[in-house]
């Protein structure tokens, strides 16, 4: 079967955007002053059954709110499709929904609809609807503009490994995976000066590529500093933190381009040329975290 | 684990409707002039892997458009979350998406977003967004008003049995299950005189109950005529067509209440009292098709 990227490219061609201003292919679709996005979490692909359901509930909403943030929008509503094994306890479901409720409250939105079914594995699909004055798109950054990163990258991937290997400690890394926080305030602020924006869900380099469109970039090596937690983990495992930061996935940080000196985030590079994404003299391989490959 | 109904009741209490005019608990949520609804289809619960993917694609969209129809709305957009086994063929996926495209074109809407993941079983969750002038709700029908049915009930359940048993013939019944057609035009017409409306997805009696709210009803036995296909099937199997018509599920017919003589559909009863749903001297049991029970 085709890769996720190939499938999306194909669908983009098959489905005209209709009455929408923006259809398939950005963080969210845009219609009038509303944005629409959907993301799903599937057992054994995105999480394990034994993971804490409260954080799973939060994450299922927050990965969607992260897409709303990446448009410069504010959340309004979520809808949720749940498919659950009948042997899950009421306690598990209560905790999941407590997490959903908590994420909605913190994101200033509410659940307005859903559907429930039964299956062997857990499947959670959420659609978020937000409002936006002027959506910040992809592919619209210009030569020489600064590339700004808001949030940490790499920690979530390391956290996932820590959880999978059952290691003690590294709580900050575990929480980066279990409980990513959407950058709603930051996205809203950035919207007034960002020329393009995306949330980093599939790895910094891959999402940079999506944000840049046909443009290239130069990244500044000194700006890519790992968190102390990631540094400690990589030291212990004899691994390179840069690999995690560039290709990790599930970070839910924001990146944007701007001609101005940004009041938030960290400048990690600039838009340059039509070629690849360069770090030192290296052209980075443009791969990332794809569920389908 | 709790039943679907208990879970929804609980969520209705847990989630205030926020800025929405209508939140959890109708065919679709309402915000300004827009309606939002979501429905999912899960392998082995709603369909089998060997079922034709073109119709599965159509159905995944059309069951959502049926909810838009039941609000008296017109479809604008759909978003789709897909989780697929990696061993499915490209042909299977192409046919599925051809069905999605076909349903969108016939419904005058388009796919504006989605997400893809991988799993052992197939999950398809669709969210539909529609526009509506004046949404037709549930629980708002009045004493003495007519109850009108638009479309056939019972055929889909019989079709499902025909398919499961691998019987030859009965193509109309099979198609009622594989390829339900949302009553978009009819819902739009009914919106101008219906006082309450719902689509019949979980069985006529159960959805009547949902539409009636606290009111009761009397159904006219002579008005509940099976289709010739259902009649033939029941004759062969020695079964009662009325059971299929009252409790079948997945019909995607519309029912509505109105004080007027309706220009479409068939009058099957009237709103009466605060009690149960009565057929002849019988109070009908209010059960239906619930995926979680």
Bridge pairing between strands A110-118 and A74-84: parallel
Q: What is the pLDDT of residue B128?
A: 98
pTM over 0.90: yes
Question: Are B19 and B26 spatial neighbours (Cβ–Cβ below 8 Å)?
Answer: no
Q: Give the CA diameter of chain B.
A: 56
Collect all residues of chain B within an 8 Å Cβ-Cβ radius of residue A7: 93, 116
What's the mean per-residue pLDDT of chain A?
95
Whether residues B153 and B278 fall in one domain: yes
Assess if residue B291 is contained within a domain: no
* pLDDT over threshold 90, residue A90: yes
The tens digit of pLDDT for each residue in A57-81 reads 999 999 999 999 999 999 999 999 9
CB pair distance less than 8 Å for B1 and A90: yes
Q: In the prediction, which pLDDT does A106 show?
A: 98
The pLDDT of residue B91 is 96
Q: Domain span at residue A159?
A: 146-283
Boundary-marking domain end, from A131, A157, A172? A131
Q: Tell me, what's the pLDDT at A287?
A: 74
Q: Which residues of chain A have a CB within 8 Å of the CB of B86? A: 1, 292
Give the one of A31, A45, A125 whose C-beta lies nearest to B118's C-beta. Answer: A45
Query: Would you say residue A140 lies in a domain?
Result: no
B214 CA: distance to closest CA in chain A (Å) = 22
Rounded Cα–Cα distance for residues A270 and B233 (Å): 70
A4-31 CB burial, b ≥16 within 10 A, e <16 = bbebbebbeebbebbebebbbbbbbbbb
Compare all CA atoms of chain A with the CA of B41 and give the residue at the minimum distance.
Answer: A117
Answer yes or no: do B106 and B158 share one domain.
no
Same-domain status, B125 and B246: no
Q: Does residue A177 sit in the same domain as residue A82?
A: no
Q: Is residue B29 part of a domain?
A: yes
Domain count, chain A: 2
Taking an 8 Å cut-off on Cβ atoms, the answer to whether B111 and A36 are in contact is no
Q: Is residue A141 part of a domain?
A: no
Q: Establish if A136 belongs to a structural domain.
A: no
CATH of the domain at A119: 3.30.1330.10
Same domain, B81 and B202: no
Q: List Cβ neighbours of B226 (8 Å cut-off, separation of 6 or more).
A: B154, B234, B241, B242, B244, B245
CB of B189 within 8 Å of a chain A CB? The answer is no
- Closest by Cβ to A88, choosing from B1, B20, B24: B1
Give the confidence band of A292 by pLDDT, cuts at 50, 70, 90.
very low
Residue B151 and residue B274 in one domain: yes
Buried b (16+ CB within 10 A) or exposed e, B37-64: bbbbbbbebbbeeebbbbbbbbbbbbbb
B200/B197 Cα distance (integer angstroms)? 10
User: Among residues A131, A158, A177, which one ends one of the domains?
Assistant: A131
What pairing do the DSSP bridges indicate for beta strands A196-200 and A282-283? unpaired
In the prediction, which pLDDT does A195 show? Answer: 98
Note whether residue A37 is domain-resident: yes
Selecting from B18, B22, B112 the residue whose C-beta is nearest the C-beta of A36 gives B112
Is B123–A120 a contact, with Cβ atoms under 8 angstroms apart?
no
Percent of chain A with pLDDT strictly greater than 70: 98
The shortest CB-CB distance from A81 to any of B38, B45, B86 is to B38
Are A177 and A241 within one domain? yes
Q: What is the pLDDT of residue B282?
A: 87
A257 touches chain B (CB under 8 A): no
Q: What is the Cα–Cα distance from B205 to B292, expressed in whole angstroms?
A: 18
Supply the pLDDT for residue B293: 34
User: Do A153 and A124 have their domain in common?
Assistant: no
Beta bridge partners of A147: A257, A269
Q: Which of B157, B150, B151 is nearest to B234 (CA)?
A: B157
pLDDT digits (tens, 9 = 90+) for A196-254: 999 999 999 999 999 999 999 999 999 999 999 999 999 999 999 999 999 999 999 99
- Torsion angles phi and psi, residue A201, rounded to 5: -110, -25
Q: Would you state the pLDDT for residue A293?
A: 34
Contact A115 B39 (CB under 8 A): yes
- Smallest Cβ–Cβ distance between B40 and the set A77, A86, A115 belongs to A115
Distance CA B219, CA B146 (A): 10
Closest residue of chain B to A46, computed from CA coordinates: B117
A25 or A211: which leads in pLDDT: A211
Q: Which residues of A touch B77 (CB under 8 A)?
A: 18-20, 29, 31, 36
- pLDDT given at position A3: 81
Cβ atoms of A211 and A257 closer than 8 Å: yes
pLDDT of B250? 96
Burial of B230 per CB tally in 10 Å (0-12, 13-18, 19+): buried
Do A158 and A208 belong together in one domain? yes
Give kind and range of the element (H or E) at residue B255: strand B253-258
Q: What is the arrangement of strands in the sheet containing A74-84, beginning at the earlier edge strand?
A: A29-31, A34-42, A123-131, A74-84, A110-118
Walk along chain B (293 residues) and give the pLDDT tens digit of each residue: 778 778 888 888 899 999 999 999 899 999 999 999 999 999 999 999 999 999 999 999 999 999 999 999 999 999 999 999 999 999 999 999 999 999 999 999 999 999 999 999 999 999 999 999 999 999 999 999 999 999 999 999 999 999 999 999 999 999 999 999 999 999 999 999 999 999 999 999 999 999 999 999 999 999 999 999 999 999 999 999 999 999 999 999 999 999 999 999 999 999 999 989 999 888 998 876 555 43
Could you tell me if A76 lies within 8 Å of chain B, comparing CB atoms?
yes
Interface of A with B in 214-253 (CB under 8 A): none
Question: Which B residues in the span 88-117 are in contact with A, Cβ-Cβ below 8 Å?
Answer: 88-90, 93, 97, 101, 104, 109-117
Give the model's pLDDT for residue A288. Answer: 65
Q: Is residue A290 part of a domain?
A: no
| B139 belongs to a structural domain | no
- Give the CATH number for residue A183: 3.90.650.10
| ipTM score of complex | 0.94
Chain B residues touching residue A11 (CB < 8 angstroms): 97, 111, 114
């Amino acid at each position: 079967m085709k890769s996720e990227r190939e499938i999306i490219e194909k669908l983009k061609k098959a489905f005209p955007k209709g009455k929408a201003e923006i259809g398939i292919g950005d963080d969210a679709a845009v219609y009038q002053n509303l944005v629409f996005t959907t993301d799903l979490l599937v057992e054994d692909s995105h999480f394990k059954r034994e993971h804490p359901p409260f954080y799973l509930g939060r994450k299922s909403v927050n990965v969607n709110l992260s897409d709303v943030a990446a448009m410069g929008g504010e959340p309004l509503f979520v809808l949720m499709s749940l498919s659950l094994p009948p042997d899950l306890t009421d306690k598990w479901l209560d905790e999941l929904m407590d997490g959903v409720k908590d994420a909605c409250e913190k994101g200033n939105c509410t659940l307005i609809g859903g559907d429930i079914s039964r299956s062997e594995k857990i499947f959670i699909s959420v659609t978020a609807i937000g409002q936006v004055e002027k959506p910040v798109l992809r592919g619209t950054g210009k030569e020489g503009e600064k590339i700004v990163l808001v949030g940490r990258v790499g920690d979530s991937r390391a956290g996932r490994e820590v959880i999978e290997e059952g290691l003690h400690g590294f709580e900050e890394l575990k929480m980066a995976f279990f409980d990513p926080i959407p950058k709603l305030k930051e996205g809203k602020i950035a919207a007034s000066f960002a020329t393009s924006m995306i949330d980093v869900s599939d790895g910094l380099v891959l999402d940079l590529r999506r944000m840049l469109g046909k443009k290239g970039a130069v990244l500044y090596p000194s700006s890519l500093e790992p968190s102390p937690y990631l540094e400690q983990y990589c030291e212990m495992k004899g691994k390179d933190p840069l690999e995690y930061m560039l290709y990790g996935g599930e970070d839910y940080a924001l990146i944007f381009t701007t001609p101005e000196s940004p009041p938030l985030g960290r400048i990690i590079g600039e838009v340059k040329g039509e070629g690849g994404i360069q770090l030192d003299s290296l052209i980075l391989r443009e791969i990332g975290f794809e569920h389908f490959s």
